[in-house]
Structure 1
Amino acid sequence: MDHVAQRQAMLDAVGEQVGPVRAVRLVRDLDADGVPVRLYQDGADAVTPVLLYAHGGGWVLGDLSTHDGLCRLLAAETGWAVLAVDYRRAPESPFPAAFEDIETVAGWLQVHGRQHALDPTAVAVAGDSAGGLLAAVTARRGRDAGRDFVAQVLICPVTSPAMDYPDLGNDGLQPQEMVEFWDAFAPPGVDRHHADLDPFLADAAGLPPAVIVTAELDILRDEAERYAARLAAAGVPVIATRYQGTFHNFPRKLALTRDAAVAVAQIAAALRALTGQYVP
């Protein structure tokens, strides 16, 4: 994997895949105890709930710029603030660096959130693709530490290192790509058989309500839907939707499919349904 070239290619494709971005009231780059973050605020100039966001890209690719369009639209549709985390990426900084950075930002929110009109008692965690694993594990870590999140939003998420993928026969995300991403994030020799890399190994009871979006033509579809079923079986409120005829991580690619904007609108509606007391 030439990860440097792949990172640049992902950046170069933003204009074609994402298109013109949504204007929001305020976008600021901040330092959260040493971790770069980008804050999006589009609601009223008042304290609002926060969506703590982990971008996708196989823990190797992606950054604040590749996901700027999606984060802007999430802020506009939800009325919540979106705080996107520029976590350290593999292979330079493998597991557990990304988790450490997200937890640092979550701690920063508790101390400094109100200075930025953010409600530290109303924080949801979200992520797409590889960021979905970061979000799911962060939600479980928060529960275990007594710092509960009000919801978790998982968009086409990675949820298992088993890599038991269906043969979909399309040119989307490929199994070999996931092998390379996993090897960069949790290199051979790292024990992947624990809950920080395999959420199926954790007790699901008491986890925050979940919104899970999957795509019919995505090899991650089945594991994400199994995880949704596991949460529901444990009594966790879950809204899970499979979008037919579309591809991996489609909500980020707003210029390529109308389903992207529909999915973001659904995420906003689901957050309101699951956390009614936090409707802006």
Structure 2
Amino acid sequence: MFLDFKRWVTTWALTFAFSFPSANYPRRVIQLLQLFFYRARTDWIHKEKFGYWIAEDLKKNAKREAIQDRISEANVIILWVPGGGFRFDLGKLYTSTFATWIRALEADKGIKSMVFVADYKRGPEELFPAAIKDIGEIYHWLVETLQIDPKKIIIGGDDAGVAIALDTLLNKIDPSKKPAGMICASPYTGLEAGGESWRANLGLDVLNENSITRMENCYLGIENDDDDIIEYEGGLSPFAYLRESVQLGSILPGRMLFYLGGKEVLLEEGGILANRASRSGIQVMVVQEPSGIHLWSMLPDVLIKDEQVRQYVVDRFVEFVEGTIKK
């Protein structure tokens, strides 16, 4: 009974947050959702200036030397760019999911791992390229300051976090230092609303046309009626990876994992990116759950009722990480 109530509240909160015009109320709703329903594993979290680490019982010994030792001992570091439509932060909702991933990797394959959940500037107060500058700085901090080998970094993102990660890889990370792998969970990549998955799933998902409008406005700014071309800082272009002229194989990691839901309006969008990546020579693994709505793979304990499906999601994650690190 409680799980059904939690599922209903979560679905309502996400639908409201993604579609409400102002950013302030959605942020408060997501904060309250986290406070009342997603407080598990707080002892796994250690805050840093750029975000926070997640690892088992991390709070027991949060001294700098101890954390550095755990980073050095880890076989893989997952840098996660949390979504939230470029407006709010969904990262704290995923702590239990990250904990499940970490434990499964060590139990099944003996792979030690840590997750770093990135903090970054969000709109409408901060527009492109503020977010990718933050993620670029975090990536360089991991590689240059903490001396983490890029070959053991997997970058991941959900929702709008995928677009930010893609823009960062294109504009802020030297291809010679790109991460070993990438995870895209319910990815938003900047395509306009429309397509078969929109026609089939509109009304079944937590996203709608208004959600996409809010996302665009909080990343790119509100379009002017006079059709003036917006010039962004440094001459950068958002969503430039969508251009067919961009060779994804040269900027993206060599292996990618996609989590797509059969009831997502963005299902087709994720499929297009996966197909382009595959055609560029990237090894692509796609996990699609027919009943999944937006963010189903990040909140499986709540949004997926079938325990076998939840286990399948974890198993594919472990398989992907093992293959990426071995490669």
| TM-score bracket, shorter-length normalisation | 0.7 to 0.9
| Residue of structure 2 in register with 1:99 after alignment | 132
Structure 1 residue 250 and structure 2 residue 280: aligned?
no
| Aligned CA-pair RMSD | 2.7
Contact kept? 1:53, 1:84, Cα under 8 Å: yes
CA distance in 2, matches of 1:134, 1:260: 27
- In the other structure, the counterpart of 1:83 is 116
TM-score computed with the length of structure 1 as normaliser: 0.84
User: What's the offset of the Cα at 1:76?
Assistant: 3.0
Tell me which of 131, 153, 168 is aligned to 1:123. 153
SS in structure 2 at match of 1:136: helix
Q: Which residue of 2 aligns with 1:211?
A: 257
Structure with larger Rg: 2
Question: What is the CA deviation profile of residues 63-87 of structure 1, one whole-angstrom value per residue up to 9, with x for unaligned ones?
Answer: 5433333333333334321111111
**Residue 153 of structure 1, aligned match among 168, 176, 183:** 183
Please, which runs of 5 or more residues in structure 2 have no aligned partner?
Answer: 1-20, 58-68, 106-111, 225-229
Structure (1 or 2) with the greater strand fraction: 1
Give the ranges of 4+ consecutive aligned residues of structure 1 lying more than 6 Å apart after TM superposition.
none
Cα distance, 1:179 vs structure 2: 1.0
Q: String of CA shifts for 1:130-189, please: whole Å, max 9, x gaps.
A: 111122233334665532110111000012332334221325211211111111211125
Between the aligned residues of both structures, percent identity stands at 17
**1:255–1:22 distance in 2 versus 1, CA, 3 Å:** farther
Q: What residue in structure 2 maps to residue 72 of structure 1?
A: 99
TM-score between the two structures when normalised by the length of structure 2: 0.73
**Structure with greater proportional helix content:** 2
Q: 1:77 to 1:8 in 2, by over 3 A?
A: farther
Deviations 1:183-224 (A, max 9, x none): 1211125479x8632422121123211111110111111011
Distance 1:142 1:267, change over 3 A: farther
Evaluate the alpha carbon distance shift between residue 241 and residue 121 of structure 1 in structure 2; reply closer, same or farther with a 3 A threshold.
closer
Runs of 5+ in structure 1 lacking a partner?
A: none
Q: How does 1:46-65 map to 2 (within 5 A)?
A: 46-65=73-92
Contact (CA 8 Å) 1:113, 1:120: kept in 2 or not?
no
Residues in 1 aligned to 2:293 and 2:27: alpha-carbon distance in whole angstroms: 20
Q: How many residue pairs align between the two structures?
A: 267
Correspondence list, 1:28-39, <5 A: 28-31=46-49, 36-39=50-53
> Residue type matched to 2:140 in 1?
G
Is the alpha carbon distance of 1:107 and 1:53 closer, same or farther for their aligned partners in structure 2, counting shifts above 3 Å? same
What is the CA distance between 1:13 and its match in structure 2? 2.3
Partner of 1:176: 210
| Residues 88/73 of structure 1: CA separation in 2 closer, same or farther (3 Å cut) | farther
Given candidates 135, 154, 164, the residue that maps to 1:134 is 164
Distance 1:225 1:276 in 2: 26
| Partner SS, residue 238 of structure 1 | strand
The change in CA–CA distance for 1:245 and 1:70 in structure 2 (over 3 A counts) is same
